[in-house]
A and B are shown apart, each in its own frame.
Chain A
Amino acid sequence: MPVTLEIPTEKWNGSVREVTLGATAAEGGTRAKTVTVGGETALPFLHFEGEMPHPPAIAIEIQDHYPEDWSPLLLEAWGDVVHNPAAWAKAAEEEDADLIMLRLRGVDEEGKETTPEEAAQTVEGVLQATGLPLIVRGPGQAERDNELLVAVAEAAKGERIALGLCEDKNYRTIVAAALAHDQLIISSTPMDVNLSKQLVILITDLGMPLERILTDPTTGALGYGIEYGYSVMERLRIAAFQGDKMTQQPLICFVGEESWRQKESKVNEGVPPSWGDWVERSINWEAMTATTLIHAGADIVTPRHPETVKIVKGFIERLYEPSPA
């Protein structure tokens, strides 16, 4: 006696906005390809009730100067390229990145401040070394971000790079530079649905089209507040489907930065044996931070370790495999 059952499905009104990074020669840039993210009409990978037209993209994080504060495991994994951002970008492309995220440290190895001209040159070098679309983040201090990102926006004119981070205390200059040079921006707020909406509104008030905004909800890492980021993302995503226009931006999650600054990844001295092998643990930590957030709705994740990239790519592919209705 067969039991009849009706699977409840969600009929949403809204969807995530599509945002395209990069521009090819035909579009006024020099990228070999563009990458579009967003466009979902259902929660992640629930293919029976909606579309997820673009798989989550992987932006490998590189830095403009030797990242002396990075875990030795990362430095070892990348080798010599960590001294040369253009070579590093090329290596990241070879590791199957969809996008490159360049983080400007603000100072070089000797502690000398990066000038706007130097930042612009670095970005030009990276653009020449890779055909992938680019995300560029400043050092994270308002004045320095503004100074460097204005120069970067100009140097990368036409390339549709994403600039960040725009925060509520500092977004006008970066948005203006992105508007002047046809770039995208990343809005960033600390783990709060309403703050996230609010900043998107302020940024659009300056004339930035929604098609050029990515949102960083701030996530925390596994074991370090990920549950807050996870739930804020699920709430943002549900609000997007319910039609709230200012919550419909694709979500970018800085998983490499979040997970590799934690003790679990950074050190191997004086930690209990129950933590397991350092290398394996660190990669699991980053991969699980990434995959957990992809389940919550991440459209772009930014891992640092090449093996994490492989794991997350395989994970995404398998989530597109056909399954029983």
Chain B
Amino acid sequence: MALTGLQIYKLLPKTNCKECGFPTCLAFAMKLAAKQVELAACPYVSEEAKAALAAAAAPPIRLVTVGSGQRKIQVGNETVLFRHEKTFYHEPGLLVRLRDSQPLEEIEETAIQVDGYSVERVGLELTLNGIAFENASGEVDAYVKGVEAIRAKTDLPLILMAKDPKVMAAALERADGANPLIYAATKDNWSDMAELAGRHKCPLAVYEPDGLSALASLVEQVKGAGVEDIVLDPGTRGFSDSLIVLTQIRRLALKKNFRLLGYPIITFPGEGRGSVKQEAILADQHIAKYAGLIVLDHFDPAAIYPLLTLRLNIYTDPQKPIQVAPGIYEITGPDEKSPLLTTTNFSLTYFTVAGEVEASGVPSWLLIVDTEGLSVLTAWAAGKFDAEKIAKSVQTSGIADKIAHRKLVIPGFVATIMGDLEDELPGWEILVGPREAIGLPAYLKAWG
């Protein structure tokens, strides 16, 4: 956590020598706190002060990378407890667990499905982030074969799950350069696992279900063995304990700058759950409340699609409404007779409307009004999608040169502005479209 100017001042020589270019050490400290100068500008700063300032500059929750190449995931480095305080930065990875007790063909088939899963939303491709592979058989051969089979099918990030360091060592030999997460160091095997993490330069999960104090102790030992990229598993598997413990870890990291728990957290929402739906609503909690890696036990698109959607929603930056550029959009090649519809530039609104117009098969013009990223009703209530604004967009967009008719379809939710809009746009006929985008295909097919 960043130090204040006064805290930094205490670490400086306090000689006011001015060699840094500032009149006093305090002035220099203030500039340091504001990150406007480098500490190196002080020629007399002590080694202890350097170390203290470097440690303070590190993020309170470490950014950890799992996997390599384009599909690697980075989790952690969060700075707030509530997204409205700033934003959540690094979406938690969603992975699917496979076990070496499953038939090899099944492992390969699921690996291919996870690898290829993709769903489009608001112009973005949402995907899964990897595979966790567990040594359930207890045997080395089956596990190593499975790791090789998975790696042959996908370059997605891997979590290698084995209790026995010998099994882990053999698997890591087959995963060179893949930067898998090693799961997990426990109080019984931490020394060997830390050694493996060091040798292969891989991140290491630390599992300790016996309370946060015991977890922090184990992290301290693992850190002492030289491991820096750590992921925490506090062992909570239920709805109540997960929420409470993950909240406590996040608070300790952010509010107390408690370094030993300043790492991303891994969760297993499927463990002990009776159904895919139960797993999905616990994974939902983990997305909203503080997980960094979420390992699912089911590959079920009916649950994965809503989970990926929730992750996108929760990790959307609340400071910036997602917008598309205002202006004219051509959907499936409209001509001068094609319908003209208008809506707002909130990207969700745009993509929902554009998607339905496209699905209708009726080529159309879409006039997007600049509502500063607000949706139809919110923009209307805020006076950013009223008759005057829409009329101005129509007049400045040049749409009149592209179409032969003078008909404009407005969203059903703002039907009340129809009269005003006809006054603002003499010669135009204003038509009231459906309230929801889902009604557009039927509406457009009936459009003369």
Contact = CB atoms under 8 A, between A and B. Distances in A.
B301 A231 contact: no
Contacts of B171: none
A4 B377 CA distance: 52
Contacts of B316: 227
Interface string B297-335: 000111111110110111010100000000000000000
B201 interface: no
B378 A275 contact: no
Interface in B218-275: 220, 236, 238-241, 243-245, 247-248, 251-252, 255-256, 258, 260-261
Contact of B278 (A224, A274, A276, A311): A311
Contacts of B241: 321, 323-324
Given A235-B84, A276-B302, A285-B306, A291 B281 contact: yes
Nearest to A307: B277
A7 interface: yes
Contact of B239 (A261, A277, A315): A315
B284 A319 contact: no
Contacts of B16: none
Contact of B378 (A190, A261, A280, A295): A190
A195 to B, nearest CB: 9
Interface string A242-278: 0000000000000000000111101100101111110
A280 B240 contact: no
Contacts, number: 175
Given A3-B260, A227-B83, A280 B238 contact: no
Contact of A272 (B119, B213, B236, B256): B119
A46 B312 CA distance: 25
A7 B284 contact: no
Contacts of A275: 119, 301-302, 305
Interface residues of B, number: 67
B240 A292 contact: no
Contact of B302 (A263, A277, A322): A277
Nearest to B126: A274
A288 interface: yes
Interface size grouping (class) on chain A: 35 or more
Contacts of A285: 306
Contacts of A276: 300-305
A230 B285 CA distance: 13
Contact of B281 (A8, A228, A288): A288
B438 interface: yes
A65 interface: no
Contacts of A225: 348, 375
Interface string B42-86: 000000000000000000000000000000000000000011100
Nearest to B218: A3
Contact of A231 (B211, B238, B318): B318
A291 B284 contact: yes
A249 B240 CA distance: 24
Counting chain B CB atoms within 10 Å of each CB, the highest count among A266, A318, A320 belongs to: A318
A263 B309 contact: no
A26 to B, nearest CB: 35
A5 B302 contact: no
Nearest to B355: A263
Interface in A278-325: 280-281, 283-285, 287-288, 291-292, 295-296, 311, 314-315, 318-324
A2 interface: yes
B118 interface: yes
A223 interface: yes
B82 A324 contact: no
A60 interface: no
Nearest to B304: A276
Given A5-B212, A7-B248, A190-B381, A223 B309 contact: yes
B436 A261 contact: yes
A47 B240 contact: yes
Contacts of A274: 117-119, 301, 305
B318 A5 contact: no
A140 to B, nearest CB: 11
A191 B121 CA distance: 22
B240 A319 contact: yes
A46 B247 contact: yes
B389 to A, nearest CB: 18
Contacts of B239: 315, 318-319, 321
Given A263-B352, A275-B302, 5 more contacts: A5-B212, A7-B252, A234-B82, A261-B438, A311-B281
Interface of B: 82-84, 117-121, 211-214, 216-217, 220, 236, 238-241, 243-245, 247-248, 251-252, 255-256, 258, 260-261, 276-278, 280-281, 284-285, 288-289, 300-307, 309-310, 312-314, 316, 318, 348, 352, 356, 359, 375, 377-378, 381, 436-438
Sort A-B residue pairs by CB-CB distance and give the 8 closest, nearest first. A276-B302, A276-B301, A323-B241, A280-B302, A318-B239, A3-B216, A281-B302, A227-B313
